[in-house]
Structure 1
Amino acid sequence: MDYRIRRRSRVRPYTFTGGRTRSRHPLMVHSLVSTVGSGHDPPASLLPEARRIYLLCRRSRSVAEIAHELRLPLGVIQVLLSDLAERDLAYIHPSVSGTDPFERPLLERVLHGLERLV
């Protein structure tokens, strides 16, 4: 669901996280996340926003890309991703160092995603 629609209906973003503002896992804007068992359907018990994250992360995505796609604040996305990781439904990839030449396309994708957020 589009965040702009929700804002008009006066649903606050922290409602999606049960009022929590901190994630249990260290998630940076550029952290990559992917769904564990990407060929499976998301569990029916997931909230709609977590379900969309699960489906988006069938292909590795950065936290910034997910926030942009769902039009939700980064903090909300970080908490929801952390919840998915706690349930072993998402894998948080180790942070990139920027020194490996094969990381360049990934870093350019993250930069492009950040530019779209502004």
Structure 2
Amino acid sequence: MRMYTVSRGRTAPRTKLAMEALVSSATTEQLGLSYIREYRVISELCRQIRSVAEISALLGTPLGVARVLITDMESEGLVRIHHPQIDERGPGPDLLERVLGGLNSL
């Protein structure tokens, strides 16, 4: 029930967001108590650039919920999303290796 409340019942993000997209914090200060716990945790996690999949795993939330939260945070200027360069053949091996390395470190 909590995740439904946190995402305001939405299961789809405002904009398309690949699970391998990289996210960084856009603030240098910790978010205050006026933000929900998940925003504060994501902001702290993203002091080091992380993939959407990593954030989802570390936060312990389904990928869809993490995508909703991250895109909401981007619209508020709290995080920056770095979309991968993917051509019609799909992601390149270097991107896949970075995502796999990040997931293995979890």
Q: Structure 1 length as normaliser, TM-score?
A: 0.74
Question: Runs of 4 or more off by more than 4 Å in structure 1?
Answer: 113-117
Q: In the alignment, which residue of structure 1 is the partner of 2:62?
A: 73
Looking at secondary structure, tell me which structure has more helix per residue.
1
Query: Which residue, out of 13, 18, 22, partners 1:28?
Result: 18
Instruction: State yes or no: 1:110 paired with 2:99.
Output: yes
Give CA deviations for 1:30-78 in whole Å, capped at 9, x if unaligned.
01011103x2111432110111011101111001000110110000000
Unaligned ranges ≥5, structure 1: 1-10
1:85-100 aligned at under 5 Å gives the runs 85-97=74-86, 98=91
Cα RMSD after superposing both structures: 2.3
Determine which structure has more spread, i.e. the larger CA radius of gyration: 1
Unaligned ranges ≥5, structure 2: none
Task: Give the length in aligned residue pairs.
Answer: 102
Q: Structure 2 length as normaliser, TM-score?
A: 0.81
